[in-house]
Structure 1
Amino acid sequence: MDATTTTDSLTIRPLSTETWPAFAELVARHNGVFGGCWCTWFHTEEKDKERTYESNRDLKCGLVESGRAHAALVFDGDEAVGWAEYGPPEELPNLHHRKEYDATQVSPPDFRITCIFVDRRYRRRGVAALALDGALDLIARAGGGVVEGYPHDMSKQPEGKKMSASFLYNGTRRMYEEAGFTFDRPKGLKNCVMTRTVSPA
């Protein structure tokens, strides 16, 4: 993404068997993302330490083929440059700080947004926010409902200390607020639960 490229030139497409090759190329360019996860961590009830880069890739591919993995993919032309993973809780059962989350939950959401990732060449240019908006649009098309996100709460970050964009696996609280979410409760030391009700399209 050069200095003249804006998010206006980017498009959103859903993750599917048709867009899998572009998604796979994006993940492969970043060594499988997050230690070879291939964006599978939230799909499993417990993290399997025996899984590998290859088995995670095969798992994700199988979930896409069976319609059990959803994401809004951001495209620059034919190249995928980011995504926002979303799905119902039964599709994405795993969460960080799970015990605290379960203990403070009043009712489950209809959808979760669990992972937002942006190509390193496109970071800090609004692509994450575009991916989030794309996920909300696809959720609306799927019937809408209560949506939860779990962003990093930068107010909990020590003053003067910056965090690498690569560690913001689900964006920031401010980005969610700008997308119409409201703060629900803290989750862990530096994350929180944000909610928004999305009307059906």
Structure 2
Amino acid sequence: MQRASADSVVVLDFETTGLSPQYGDRAIEIGAVLLENGVIVDRFQRLMNPGFRISPFIESYTGITNEMLKVEPPCEEVMAGFSDFIAGHNIVAHNASFDRRFLDFELKRARRAYEGDCCCSLLLSRRIYQDAPNHKLQTLVNHAGIPKVGSFHRALADAEMTAHLWLSMIDRIRQHYGVQAIFFDQLTELSKIDKLYAHRYLTDLANG
């Protein structure tokens, strides 16, 4: 099976009613961009009705209101469509454990499944941008000089900025280590090793 290039992925982001579907929280927005060879070639964004009113805190945090959601389709309908968008692609998300929980939960409710691999751009950034003040998306966007797109805490804007962050980390590896062909599984592995060994890992990668 051919190895997947690191710069051909779907980068996604959820806005939700809370922190965990295990405690009854649901998705209220999904945003995603499709990268092919380092270029955004498609986008997906939909609000979805969780079936109950969201809290004033979530309204304030995201800018998504109950009035906006009451006319939107249910999560199951939106996620059925989204499953077609991500089919056959690996995915990237910032703090991916959060997004993957909601992705798996909402797809299961929609009677769909996702079988690709997932990499966390937050974990990877701790290895690539070790000099950043912290590794929140907003901080990294400023640190890496990435243009801001839309508003933070809206799914499509966050997904697009995460995609540019992901590409900036790939470019940084290429520039600093001279590695031209970078594969998704290599960045997934790098995201999981101790950050003290990141330089050694990338040096070994460069040396073949």
TM-score normalised over the length of structure 1: 0.27
TM-score normalised over the length of structure 2: 0.27
| Structure with greater contact order relative to length (CA < 8 Å, sep ≥ 6) | 2
